[in-house]
Amino acid sequence: MSITTSTLWRIHFSRRWPMELDLAHQGHWTSHERDLLADSLRQFQLGEGSDGCNLLRFARTFAAQVADPDLPEAIAGLIAEEQRHSRWLGEVLRHQHEPLLQKHWVDGVFRLARRAMGFGLEIAILVSAEIIAVPYYAAVRRATTLPALQDICDRILEDEAFHLQFQAANLSLVVRNRFGLRHMLHRVLQAAICAVVWNQHGRVLAAGGYTYTTFWHECDHLLAEVQQKSQRAARSRCASTFAA
């Protein structure tokens, strides 16, 4: 059986699974940190904890269409890492005696949108979510004095760097052609998501040194990088197919 990009990512996620964090020594928030971070982190903890059932279902169907049998297991590895992020954030929130959210309208809207349009839109929204996580957790890292939360932010940022590479590979499978139009529409989608995130989490991002403009520019730059990588991967795949 041939080795695909999804095979390599399946192996990658399986190797990272045992890499846990020691969150035993957490300390306590100042009143300012609690006021700034608690509600915001609750939303991100909820969002990171999706069971991914619809994404996996779409991935299985799409994998059959493009003959990429390892894609669903690689996607499962991604979901497991996101759930682990949720668990870590939940441990911090519980230690600070903060209740966890069971639902939130923003999370509900994103989940509904992902279910509506299949694997391609799921991946597009997930790419934007992974991108937004980069400035967000960088801001939380700078805004907190808790070593455990700082360690979580460092680890999530490390994971997100890998996730964006993985999602670039997935986008290359989804898009295949008409890159310009699809990439432009993705930028419009991400701009709308950035506006919602700033509305909900702008205080945390501002505490981490961002303005709306610098936040949006960083997200747009990261999306451009992902799109460039996906386009190169798609062209490389086409060239290999033609050569064969």
Render pLDDT for 14-46 as a digit per residue (tens, 0 to 9). 998 778 888 877 889 999 999 999 999 999 999
pLDDT band at 237 (very low <50, low <70, confident <90, very high): low
We report the CATH number of the domain holding residue 72 as 1.20.1260.10
**pLDDT for the residue numbered 102:** 84
Range of the domain at 146: 30-243
DSSP conformation letters of the chain:
-PPPHHHHHHHHHHHHTT-----S------HHHHHHHHHHHHHHHHHHT---HHHHHHHHHHHHHHT-TTHHHHHHHHHHHHHHHHHHHHHHHHHTT-PPPS--HHHHHHHHHHHHH-HHHHHHHHHHHHHHHHHHHHHHHHH---HHHHHHHHHHHHHHHHHHHHHHHHHHHHH-S-HHHHHHHHHHHHHHHHHHHHHHHHHHHHHTT--HHHHHHHHHHHHHHHHHHHHHHHHHHHHHHHH-
Residue 173 lies in a domain: yes
For the chain, the domain total comes to 1
Question: Which tokens hold the place of 48?
Answer: 């990171």
**pLDDT for the residue numbered 103:** 78
Residue 148 lies in a domain: yes
pLDDT at residue 104 is higher than 70: yes
Residue 140 lies in a domain: yes
Residue 7 lies in a domain: no
Residue 117 lies in a domain: yes
Kindly report the pTM of this predicted structure.
0.90
**Contact status, residue 95 vs residue 31, Cβ threshold 8 Å:** no
Distance CA 7, CA 233 (A): 15
Residue 169 lies in a domain: yes
- Kindly report the average pLDDT of the chain as a whole number: 88
Residue 17 lies in a domain: no
Closest by Cα among 188, 142, 178, 137 to 160: 137
**Contact status, residue 172 vs residue 236, Cβ threshold 8 Å:** no
**Contact status, residue 166 vs residue 74, Cβ threshold 8 Å:** yes
What confidence tens digit (pLDDT) does each residue in 159-205 have?
999 999 999 999 888 876 556 667 888 899 899 999 999 999 999 99
